[in-house]
Amino acid sequence: MNRCNYYTCAASLMMMSLVACGGTSLEVSSIARTSNPTQQISSLEEEIQNARQREVHILSPSWFSKSEESLTQAQSMQREGKDLNGIFEAVAQGKAQIEKAKATADISTSTLPDAIEARHDALAAGAASLETPFNAAEQNFLRLTKEVEEGNVKWARNNQEKVASQFKALELGAIKKQALGEARQVIEKAQKRDAHKLVPKSFALAKQKLQEADEFISKNRYQKDQLLAKANEALFYAHRMSSLYQYAAGVQKRSPEQLALWTEDILSGIAKVAGAPDMRNQSFKTQVGNIQGKIEGLQKDQQFLVEMTNQQSDEISVLRGEVSALEGMTKSEQEAKERLEAEKRFNRLYSEVRTYFSPNEAEVYKQGDQLLIRLKSMKFPVGQSVIMPSNYPILTKVQKAIRTFGQPTVTIEGHTDTTGSKALNEHLSRERAESVKQYFLANQTLRENKLVSVGYGDSKPVAPNTTAEGRAQNRRIDVVISPVETPLSSE
């Protein structure tokens, strides 16, 4: 190395020790001429990336920005084949600047705890979607951290409460938007159609439920389960009002006879599906009683079948023990035989269950000694857990699959995509899985102690959430069937 160039480099680095932000000195350590420039640049880039993850770019914006400028300068000089001295100077300065940024960020963290916490809470609630007010609050926050960089710590501390209040208001607004946005839109849309004139009582009740939910959130923004319950109630009454409005609007267009025939058509359709006799020659009250009686009879019949199945299962277990004793087999021999028979039976039933579903309805997999049914055609209304009649056919097939295995243990898993907050996704997936469980209980598919529901939110995707198709695949219900431990070896 040329001695003159060496001293020139050293002198330049010494001069850089006075580079500052607001007059603060910056200590720059020289880099050996024998160092690898690519490695030095990569090292600085990694330090900057790590600092960004720690939010240093927010807590010390000026110093962080300077370190990025130094990195860009070093990268540009390397691409242009400039002298190593200049590259090392830029890297050394960038490293000193990022260290200064991290030190300043620590001061900001201890000086502005309330503002930082409020900002994090607002972001977690989705306040960034409120672009204009959020950007205004963000600029005020950056002013605080820049004042810390300038050494005006006392001023920053004294003014952080104003910024914290801004972020708290944004957090509340974001929570309300996410929880009540749909209900508010339904009511506003209905009002534009004069629903308040056609169904005034239902409209007033929907607005009341929305107001109650809004007031509850204002006072209890962190009581998530109760908050979601209030929000769901408001949405329920908003959609109920909208449905009643559409019905009332339709009634206005019908003559009395058309309305009576329309009602009769609904009742006769239900009676036909339930297998009840045709009683259209009777009063509507009698027709309703006819349907109710038929349904009650079907429920009793189903209960009888369930009890008989359970009884037979218990009897088979007793007979199995007797057969084992008669055969004179050792316990280990009996267990080995049962394992083999269980495996054969499981594979046979797996093949049988696969034939129940079309490719568009569900996918059936083996998971060790468990069977997983991924319901592709199971759909819920957006943001809701109610099971619509369109899902009954696929759930009936799942019931058949479950009963094929006798009395297995069944886990219903709810999954969502990444749209919305994790808390909302976990709650929604849990509620949807529970709805499916309650459907199976209502239809006496299994005893309650045999059914488990769990919600995983967006934690177990089966496709990328970056596309609409991927998100649709991730919004799903999985049913996991675990056969009884003791197989029917005598089957």
pTM here is: 0.61
More confident site: 297 or 262: 262
Q: What is the pLDDT of residue 417?
A: 93
Q: What is the pLDDT of residue 383?
A: 83
pLDDT digits (tens, 9 = 90+) for 302-340: 776 777 677 677 767 766 765 665 566 666 766 676 777
In this prediction, residue 482 has a pLDDT band, given cuts at 50, 70 and 90, of very high
According to CATH, the topology of domain 337-482 is 60s Ribosomal Protein L30; Chain: A; (3.30.1330)
Q: What is the pLDDT of residue 283?
A: 87
C-beta separation of 168 from 121 below 8 A? yes
Q: Which helix or strand (DSSP H or E) is residue 366 part of?
A: strand 362-367
Q: What is the pLDDT of residue 1?
A: 42
Q: What is the pLDDT of residue 8?
A: 38
C-beta separation of 432 from 385 below 8 A? yes
- Least-confidence region, from 10-19, 74-83, 221-230, 305-314: 10-19
Return the amino acid letter for 63.
Answer: W
- Give the pairing type, strands 476-482 and 370-375: antiparallel
pLDDT digits (tens, 9 = 90+) for 377-392: 999 988 888 888 788 8
Does the structure show a pLDDT above 70 at 17? no
**Among residues of the chain, what percentage have pLDDT more than 90?**
59
Q: What is the pLDDT of residue 330?
A: 62
Does the structure show a pLDDT above 80 at 124? yes
The answer for residues whose C-beta is within 8 angstroms of residue 178's C-beta and 6 or more apart is 125, 126, 420, 421, 424
The answer for residues whose C-beta is within 8 angstroms of residue 81's C-beta and 6 or more apart is none
- Counting runs of H as helices and runs of E as strands, what totals does the chain give? 17, 5
* Both tokens assigned to 56: 């240093």
pLDDT digits (tens, 9 = 90+) for 91-116: 999 999 999 999 999 999 999 999 99
The position carrying tokens 């199995």 is: 320
Does the structure show a pLDDT above 60 at 252? yes
Q: What is the pLDDT of residue 304?
A: 64
Average pLDDT of the chain to the nearest whole number? 87
pLDDT digits (tens, 9 = 90+) for 22-73: 445 688 989 988 899 999 999 999 999 999 999 999 999 999 999 999 999 9
Average pLDDT rounded to a whole number, residues 152-179? 94
* Region for 486 from its dihedrals, namely left if φ exceeds 0, alpha if ψ lies in -120 to 50, beta otherwise: beta
> How far is 126 from 112, CA to CA, in rounded Å?
21
C-beta separation of 479 from 400 below 8 A? no
In this prediction, residue 470 has a pLDDT band, given cuts at 50, 70 and 90, of very high
